[in-house]
Amino acid sequence: MNIFSYEYYFILLVVHIKQNLSETCHQFFSTLANPTRLAILELLRDGPRNVTEISEALNQEQSMISHNLKPLERCKFVFSKRRKKERFYSLNKETMEQLFKIFSYHAKKYCPTEGKCLTDRGLQEQKKKSASSSLYLTRF
């Protein structure tokens, strides 16, 4: 093979990796883009629960909860364990707690308006507002 063949192979490899990463990211965020699934994840932060407990806590039908647990389990956001005739679901704390920390950080920094994300202009105004309320000492 000459050098052009290696370059061509490398480019194809990079394109393939990027496509797979894009598909993975799409699946990841699509799974999280459902309010019921997010509510389930938040609920499971308190500990394992079965479908009945989840449906009662979220005031939703058991079939709806089961339907939404499947993609969460498939993506390993939650784990399930059978105890006798019941299946208990628990949060994958290794990854999900890190995501909750990132979400909290982002919300505090960029969404101070209770869930309404700031535009660039709104973000600049927020920075000016917080800078004007800060106390700076120029002389001692």
Kindly report, residue by residue over 111-122, the tens digit of the pLDDT. 776 656 666 676
With beta carbons less than 8 A apart as the criterion, state whether 68 and 51 touch. no
| pLDDT above 50 for 2 | no
Annotate 23-75 with DSSP letters as a single string: HHHHHHHHHHT-HHHHHHHHHHTT--EEHHHHHHHHT--HHHHHHHHHHHHHT
What is the token pair recorded at 29? 């965020």
Q: Quick one: which H or E segment has residue 87?
A: strand 86-91
pLDDT band with cut points at 50, 70 and 90 for residue 106: confident
The token pair at 68 is 């939404």
Q: What is the pTM of this model?
A: 0.67
Cα-trace Rg, the chain: 23
pLDDT for residue 83 is more than 50: yes
- Calculate mean pLDDT across residues 44-63: 96
Name residue 49's beta-bridge partners: 89
Closest listed residue to residue 40, CA positions, set 13, 84, 80, 83: 80
Distance (Å, whole) CA 39 – CA 41:
5
As a whole number of angstroms, the distance between CA 24 and CA 19 comes to: 9
Crossing angle of helices 62-74 and 51-58, rounded to 10°: 110
